[in-house]
């Protein structure tokens, strides 16, 4: 029996060639992953198998020469997961991030993903993961839009014109191809121009309208998403959606920091999560109130359950909807809020899909780990 182990290295150009930017296929892969999550055919980190990952935390002030300090979006984080079903693989995303990277002409985050054989643990692929992560993050809102946005949706309101906004919009269009207009709120001219140029290239039939407030962005939009970054700690400083601005029947997809007013917490507003287990684990790991530490709106809802202000049964996972175990949109006028926290099972799903495409098409570089292990 051969003990030789080779694995495939996939650079960012290799990932593109293998279809990492194929958003319709990514939305399908995310839906399959979320159904497997709902059925329990997965594992993530932590005692309850629902942890987002494990992060190195730096001090507020340097305690040793050369040690980094805790600055905005400073992350060194490992995000491991196993996913069953047709995937049957495991992997870990290594997440390196620092907002100061932009001053060096680099992305805020620099990501790698290691895909492994679940039986032996041997590496299958080491791949560039910035696009992998960006597209799987955008695709999950697409799954939400597929089941929860009105089929006749034409207008999307976006707060924050960054990468997450682009991939979310691509997923919304895949789910609701009747989209005609995008309203966009941004803080800087450069980011707005990049977003508008990208929309013009990818979706030339979509009209882009710049707005000057969150209210103007939310009003009359069929789909709303907040895609901003910023410090956690004080929910009053998070971008906020108010019930009076929200159109009846609107779908609100929130994959970043977000606050909602009391009107959007009422029982008639549908509250959907990518995973209840994820938010409950954040509550256990970060302590109460979790929304102060993890600025996802799902953490606000979990805190409300903790306070007795929200019934646990009012929170439903998107995987249960996608599996057909729970109804999706229940009426034309129903307002739906979808909280997207992001999970490493999604990296495993899309990473496995792209890896298999790369193997089929002979994309990437084969690297040798060993011909025979020295310490066997």
* For the chain, the helix, strand and coil percentages under 3-state DSSP, each to the nearest 5: 40, 25, 40
User: What CATH number does residue 312 fall under?
Assistant: 3.40.50.720
pTM of the model: 0.95
Q: Give the Cα separation of 188 and 194 in Å (integer).
A: 10
Residue 248: inside a domain = yes
Q: Per the omega criterion (within 30 degrees of 0), is the bond before 153 cis?
A: no
150 and 60: one domain?
Answer: no
User: What CATH number does residue 17 fall under?
Assistant: 3.30.1780.10
The H or E element spanning position 97 is strand 89-97
The CA-atom distances, in angstroms, between 216 and each of 156, 157, 181, 210, 305 are: 12, 9, 14, 9, 31
- Per-residue pLDDT at 97: 85
The CA-atom distances, in angstroms, between 98 and each of 27, 102, 133 are: 28, 8, 16
> pLDDT digit string (tens) for 241-286?
999 999 999 999 999 999 999 999 999 999 999 999 999 999 999 9
Residue 189: inside a domain = yes
Tell me the two tokens of residue 316: 């439903």
- Per-residue pLDDT at 108: 82
Domain residues for 281? 140-343
65 and 14: one domain?
Answer: yes
Residue 375: inside a domain = no
250 and 223 in contact (C-beta within 8 Å)? yes
170 and 309: one domain?
Answer: yes
36 and 118: one domain?
Answer: yes
17 and 148: one domain?
Answer: no
104 and 187: one domain?
Answer: no
For the CA atoms of 198, 204, 206, 210, the dihedral, rounded to the nearest 10 degrees, stands at: 50
Tell me the two tokens of residue 326: 């729970």
128 and 154: one domain?
Answer: no
138 and 167 in contact (C-beta within 8 Å)? yes
Residue in the block written with tokens 């932590």: 46
- Per-residue pLDDT at 146: 98
Residue 98: inside a domain = yes
- Per-residue pLDDT at 53: 95
38 and 160: one domain?
Answer: no
125 and 25: one domain?
Answer: yes
251 SS3 class:
strand
Residue 376: inside a domain = no
119 and 198: one domain?
Answer: no
Q: Per the omega criterion (within 30 degrees of 0), is the bond before 289 cis?
A: yes
223-226 and 155-159: which strand pairing?
parallel
245 and 354: one domain?
Answer: no
Our count of domains for the chain comes to 2
The tens-digit pLDDT sequence of the chain (376 residues) is 899 999 999 999 999 999 999 999 999 999 999 999 999 999 999 999 999 999 998 898 888 999 988 877 788 999 999 999 999 999 999 999 888 888 888 888 899 999 999 999 999 999 999 999 999 999 999 999 999 999 999 999 999 999 999 999 999 999 999 999 999 999 989 999 999 999 999 999 999 999 999 999 999 999 999 999 888 899 999 999 999 999 999 999 999 999 999 999 999 999 999 999 999 999 999 999 999 999 999 999 999 999 999 999 999 999 999 999 999 999 999 999 999 999 999 999 999 999 999 999 999 999 999 999 999 8
């Amino acid at each position: 029996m051969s003990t030789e182990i080779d694995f495939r290295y996939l650079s960012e150009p290799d990932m593109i060639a293998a279809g990492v930017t194929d958003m319709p296929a990514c939305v399908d892969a995310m839906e399959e992953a979320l159904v497997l999550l709902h059925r329990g055919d997965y594992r993530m980190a932590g005692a309850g198998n629902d942890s987002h990952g494990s992060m190195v935390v730096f001090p507020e002030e340097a305690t040793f020469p050369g040690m980094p300090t805790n600055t905005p979006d400073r992350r060194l984080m490992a995000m491991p997961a196993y996913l069953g079903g047709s995937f049957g693989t495991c992997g870990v995303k290594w997440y390196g991030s620092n907002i100061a990277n932009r001053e060096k002409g680099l992305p805020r985050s620099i990501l790698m993903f290691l895909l492994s054989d679940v039986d032996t643990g041997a590496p299958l692929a080491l791949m560039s993961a910035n696009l992998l992560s960006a597209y799987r993050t955008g695709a999950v809102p697409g799954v939400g839009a597929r089941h929860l946005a009105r089929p006749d949706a034409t207008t999307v309101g976006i707060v924050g014109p960054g990468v997450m906004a682009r991939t979310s919009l691509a997923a919304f269009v895949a789910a609701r191809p009747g989209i005609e207009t995008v309203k966009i709120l941004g803080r800087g001219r450069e980011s707005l121009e990049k977003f508008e140029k990208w929309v013009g290239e990818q979706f030339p039939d979509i009209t882009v309208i710049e707005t000057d407030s969150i209210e103007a962005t939310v009003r009359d939009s069929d789909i709303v998403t907040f895609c901003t970054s910023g410090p956690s700690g004080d929910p009053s400083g998070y971008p906020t959606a108010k019930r009076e601005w929200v159109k009846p029947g609107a779908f609100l997809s929130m994959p970043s920091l977000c606050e909602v007013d009391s009107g959007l917490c009422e029982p008639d507003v549908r509250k959907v999560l990518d995973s209840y287990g994820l938010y409950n684990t954040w509550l256990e790991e970060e302590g109460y109130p979790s929304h102060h530490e993890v600025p996802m709106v799902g953490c606000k809802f979990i805190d409300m359950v903790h306070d007795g202000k929200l019934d646990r049964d009012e929170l439903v996972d998107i995987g249960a909807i996608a599996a057909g175990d729970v109804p999706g949109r229940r009426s034309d006028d129903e307002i739906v809020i979808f909280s997207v926290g992001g999970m490493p099972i999604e990296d495993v799903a899309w990473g496995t899909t792209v890896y298999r495409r790369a193997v089929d098409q002979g994309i990437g570089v084969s690297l040798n780990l060993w011909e025979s292990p020295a310490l066997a």
